[in-house]
Structure 1
Amino acid sequence: MAPAASKLRAEAGLGPLPRRALSQYLRLLRLYPVLTKAATSGILSALGNFLAQLIEKKQKKENCSQKLDVSGPLRYAIYGFFFTGPLGHFFYLLMERWIPSEVPLAGIKRLLLDRLLFAPAFLSLFFLVMNFLEGQDTAAFAAKMKSGFWPALRMNWRVWTPVQFININYIPVQFRVLFANLVALFWYAYLASLGK
């Protein structure tokens, strides 16, 4: 067989790989929804922090090959795995029960529930858990909340309100955590920049 034909067949073999990966993800999502969402959240949260570090190094014009802080992505992975994935999973399910789609203005009511209750509570939890994982005391937590909470919440409302409108109204419930995780790659990069 000619090398070009062999190469063409090898490249054609890459097509099914993404389909197999998606199929496997969907299978795991069906069998182990909380664990799958937790793992996905942990990985993507860590990646978001890693991205934040790369952006920061680039802005400071530092050599990107210099050592990155592995404790940051580790903290974000822990937060994503134990908090973002599971809480997101149950929140979206409860939202469906509390405000069924048949309720008038369900999409707006769900969005208000998310933006006015879940977002501030989740952001507070983020600051609390990160403070704990960083080994900081309560005074540091109070200072971080005082200086960073309102700017972060205002930015959250700006960034996440249209995202959550789409997520809540158009994304199937089983994919909402994943959709939010993909947007959160950049959101966590922003939050990580606040900690500096």
Structure 2
Amino acid sequence: MRLSVIEHPLVAHKLTALRDATTDSPTFRRLADELVTLLAYEATREVRVEPHPVNTPVAPTTGVRLTSPKPIVVPILRAGLGMLDGMVRLLPTAEVGFLGMIRDETTLQATTYANRLPDDLSGRQVYVLDPMLATGGTLVAAVEYLLERGAVDVTAICLLAAPEGIEVVRSAFDEHAHVTVVTAAVDERLDENGYIVPGLGDAGDRLYGVV
């Protein structure tokens, strides 16, 4: 597993506003959308492309375009939906799948309750969207689910990560699995309830309210 922490003034600025407990849901959604686009720019540095000839108004030249099969973006429901627009803004031709996972608050184990993905992901680059890498259980389960279906390259984009979760993901995927985690920051620790400290609270609740 590879870890990429994006150190940039705009990333830090938007993350600070997301952490603020006084930031309301509409502002939180807008900031999360903007932050994801910045993270996605870095996360897609190794997206596969191929040469493509074009004719400019002046002369012919050769550029690049995304190869087939197209990348697939997979938000983890529900909080990952708040990251989707920012991601597809950068990758508008990507396909979108959905994976519903829920964490048992007692055992902290993740289980799958919904799946809207192709059965065969052979050769696909997959971008997983999950705001918080806390215990790591949800992300490990999601990545295993994708790799079992043939995905060869999985990049997880997270707003925040905890050291404990990073180590869980790292131990689950050795150098034989091409797994990358891209995040805006690695925070101090997890608390006794499995929440990131200092964190930003429950991302799903702050995006969509308590339901």
| Higher normalized contact order (CA 8 Å, seq sep 6+, divided by chain length) | 1
Considering fraction of residues, name the structure with more helix: 1
Q: Which has the larger radius of gyration?
A: 1
Give the structure-1-normalised TM-score. 0.32
Considering fraction of residues, name the structure with more strand: 2
